[in-house]
Structure 1
Amino acid sequence: MITVTQAARKEVAKYFDGKEKSPVRLFITSGCGGPSLAMALDQPKEADTVFTQGDVDYIMETELLKKAQPVTVDYTGMGFNISSSLELGGGGCSSCGTGGGCCGS
């Protein structure tokens, strides 16, 4: 199940104000801080599960959702926070900014 808090729904509604609504995909991305859940506009695919919260569809690959649920999307004032039961691990690189690691090198 995907739950979107009232604060997150409000921010998503602000984003779509004056725009055509599009489904929001939840997915795993990787960066200097290691893997994390992220959001992007996308269209549902055959292997996806769709949850409607308010008047916006949130989509996630069904196999990922099975491993991650429950998934909660919140907005903290500093940005969106997506939490789940996944243990994504820290990862990342210890030399960010030094030119010798994985970030920006």
Structure 2
Amino acid sequence: MIEVTAVAADKIKEYMAANKVDSPIRIMAQNGCAGPSLNLVLDQAGDNDQLVQQHDLTLLADREMLAATGKITIDYREASSGCGCGGGGFTVSSEKPLSGGGCGSSCNTGSCGC
């Protein structure tokens, strides 16, 4: 199951209109420094994708990934003030944690710990 909050849907539609984009939005897992994370990209549907229509948006994700992640929620948060770690943007979270590596402490940037 995929859920998009109303605020996230509005921000996605705002971006797509401003950039004249008419494409499905893929939810995909990417491995990064801190381990795997879910991200949004513009893409076309493949044979193993599940398509979901919400808020006049077409979302897609690989069926196997969805089975592993459980419910996925897409939200948007505004930037906050503070130590510089409160940047706004989209959050894509899953009911079940993603498995995989990362590079651990070798990627420490010395930030404020957010």
Under a length normalisation based on structure 2, what TM-score does the superposition of the two structures give? 0.78
Q: Secondary structure at the match of 1:57?
A: strand
Structure 2 residues not aligned, in runs of 5+: 79-87, 110-114
Is the 8 Å Cα contact of residues 50 and 57 (structure 1) preserved in structure 2?
yes
- 1:103 counterpart residue number: none
- 1:10 counterpart residue number: 10
Q: Secondary structure at the match of 1:43?
A: coil
Q: 1:20-65 CA distances to partner (integer Å, 9 max, x unpaired)? A: 3100000100111211001100000010000011111000001111
Q: 1:57-90 CA distances to partner (integer Å, 9 max, x unpaired)? A: 0000011112212111000120111111232257
Structure 1 residues not aligned, in runs of 5+: 99-105
Amino acid at match of 2:106: S
RMSD over aligned CA atoms reads 1.8
- 1:86 counterpart residue number: 96
- 1:21 counterpart residue number: 22
Determine what percentage of the aligned residue pairs are the same residue: 39
Q: Secondary structure at the match of 2:9?
A: helix
Q: How far apart, in 1, do the equivalents of 2:106 and 2:11 lie?
A: 34
Q: Secondary structure at the match of 2:45?
A: coil
Matches within 5 A, 1:46-65: 46-65=47-66
